[in-house]
């Protein structure tokens, strides 16, 4: 089975802190994604990557950056966390144009 | 762009009934659709997918129907069980400007199954 592992289940940070969310997949998938999920808004795509060192903006990239130095790892970075970035963050991976496999999510609270 | 919507935010059924969750999409060029199930505190789990060259696909207790004419798809769950209680999302594949593909998700329907 595909496994997508997010490093933290819950995270509490202060406004202005730099935050790193880590994601690792074990199926050699080319594609990796970061979504955020908010009540009433569903899943919204922040950034995605189709190859090592490659990144593409999603629908809501403002305030975020990403890093993909190795194929299995995709990091989401909040340069200066703000309260409106309090959310559930979901990482996913896929092979080409196939279904996404999701991690369990990281619930981030920014105080 | 693509928008994907679900018709009802909440669906309540009795255990043993069949459930039908509906979804509409806007981009007629979408050619791949997926249904996900998300239980409380977990990430979305893949249920079933369908490509646009098919009208129907069946899995274990689940069936997805695709109507490309009206840009509508539905998820049918047979003999619904309490363990089916979750939020269900439909998603449609779309091409972005760079030529790559991403999934656009609907906002979800919460399925509540009562014994």
Mean pLDDT taken over chain A: 94
Q: How far is CA A60 from CA A12, A100, B102, B104, in A?
A: 22, 19, 14, 13
In A, minimum Cα distance to B5 occurs at A42
Q: In the CATH hierarchy, which fold is given to the domain comprising A4-110?
A: Immunoglobulin-like (2.60.40)
| Residue in this structure with the two tokens 């189709």, named with its chain if needed | A50
Rounded CA gap, A106 and A46, in Å? 14
Contact, B71 vs B25, CB < 8 A? yes
Confidence (pLDDT) at A73: 97
- Give B92-114 pLDDT, tens digit per residue: 987 776 667 788 888 889 999 99
Convert the pLDDT of each residue in A51-94 to its tens digit: 999 999 999 999 999 999 999 999 999 999 999 999 999 999 99
CA B5/CA A4 separation, integer angstroms:
27
Residue A106, pLDDT above cutoff 80: yes
pLDDT at B8: 62
State the greatest distance between any 2 C-alpha atoms of chain B, in Å, as a whole number.
49
Which chain A residues are within 8 Å of B43, Cβ to Cβ? 4, 90, 92, 102-105
Distance CA B77, CA B80 (A): 6
Report the CATH architecture of B4-114. Answer: Sandwich (2.60)
Q: Which of residues 7-46 of B touch A (CB under 8 A)?
A: 32, 34, 36, 41-46
Q: Mean pLDDT per 10-residue run, chain B (115 residues)?
A: 65 96 88 94 94 95 96 96 95 78 87 94
Boundaries of every domain in chain A: 4-110
């Amino acid at each position: 089975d595909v496994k997508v592992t997010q490093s933290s289940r819950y995270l509490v940070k202060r406004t202005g802190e730099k935050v790193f969310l880590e994601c690792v997949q074990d199926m050699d998938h080319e594609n990796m994604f970061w979504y955020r999920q908010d009540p009433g808004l569903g899943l919204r795509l922040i950034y995605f990557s189709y190859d090592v060192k490659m990144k593409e903006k999603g629908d809501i990239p403002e305030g975020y950056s990403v890093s993909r130095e190795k194929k299995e790892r995709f990091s989401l970075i909040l340069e200066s966390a703000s309260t409106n970035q309090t959310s559930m963050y979901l990482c996913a991976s896929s092979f080409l144009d196939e279904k996404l496999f999701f991690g369990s999510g990281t619930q981030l609270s920014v105080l | 762009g693509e928008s994907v919507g679900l018709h009802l935010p909440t669906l309540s059924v009795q255990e043993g009934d069949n459930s039908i969750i509906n979804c509409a999409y806007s981009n007629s060029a979408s050619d791949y659709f997926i249904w996900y199930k998300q239980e409380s505190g977990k990430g979305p789990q893949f249920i079933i997918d369908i490509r646009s060259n098919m009208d129907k696909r069946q899995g274990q207790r689940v069936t997805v129907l695709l109507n490309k004419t009206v840009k509508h798809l539905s998820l049918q769950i047979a003999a619904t069980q309490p363990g089916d209680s979750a939020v269900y999302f439909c998603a449609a594949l779309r091409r972005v400007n760079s030529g790559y593909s991403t999934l656009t998700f609907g906002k979800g329907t919460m399925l509540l199954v009562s014994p």
